[in-house]
Structure 1
Amino acid sequence: MEYPIIDVSKQSVSQFATECSKAQAMRSVAWYRFARPALVLGTWVLAAVYIRWCLANASEEEMSLDAFMPGIVGIGIVVLSMVLWTFGRQMDALNTSRVRRMPEAAEAPQPATHDIPEGDAGRCLVAYHDDDGMISHVMSVPEFERQAA
């Protein structure tokens, strides 16, 4: 599939049928709308049942606060690092004096604004990244689809 994963589950059978056969379109819709969510939900339910079983069969020594402290400290460190990372990214975004490497206009095709459907405020652009993770060039979705075809 060429679609972003967040959009695939919203596709109808007729939208899938434009890319593949009707049978394949039905299988894709069944997978993305029913089977995959059921698999994810089932995994979470099994994890909860397993954790409940572990806690029910644990001894008093295993249920003490000392036994949980390494896990609690580890989770706390991960949460703290994520919070600090978020604040750091926000402060970096506000730093206007930092020189950012931008692609040269000659190497990147300009997106055609006339190709964006009227009233479409959703995801309208495709961004390409270089090896350093910087955006090398951007193009509209219709332009990307014409290029892919």
Structure 2
Amino acid sequence: MEPRDPGQHADVVDSESAQGHEDAETPHESDDEPMVYETPKDYASSARRERERRIAEGADPSSVIFESEIRNHVPRRDGDSPAEFVKRYSETMNSMIQRGVVILNDQCTADVVASGFYTADGRYFDLGPRSGATKGDFRKFSKWFDESEGGELNGVPEKWVRFEKPAES
């Protein structure tokens, strides 16, 4: 297993439905099922959105790379032992991080439990297992939330108000 960037943090909980957001308005068979299951999280989609956001905000495209691109900077050498390659890979990645290069994880998937969403202003929307949210609610809310300006909501549609809960300190 290759090293990951443990320094990546987000201000917003980033939960995503396995069904994706591209077609949030198109009904799915499971839309009416309760949202109480684990879903695979696609880090590649999140990484692409994050890279696009950073570049749109003025970041140099060469300063925001995907983890999968590190291999372009650390090619395998003939006769490399696995330990030698991992050492060069780690050194290269650490050097990039020290130079301010942001390395976004685009190679991993994991199971996540549907959860809540925190806004930049501290509001909390609970779509977790006991919230009553359906899979369709979660998919549509995720799309709406992702499209909001960095988690800053200037108005919450009536259909989502029921998920707003007091933020935990």
**TM-score, structure 1 length as denominator?**
0.26
* Greater helix fraction, Structure 1 or Structure 2: 1
**TM-score, structure 2 length as denominator?**
0.23
Greater relative contact order (Cα 8 A, min sep 6): structure 1 or 2? 2
* Greater strand fraction, Structure 1 or Structure 2: 2
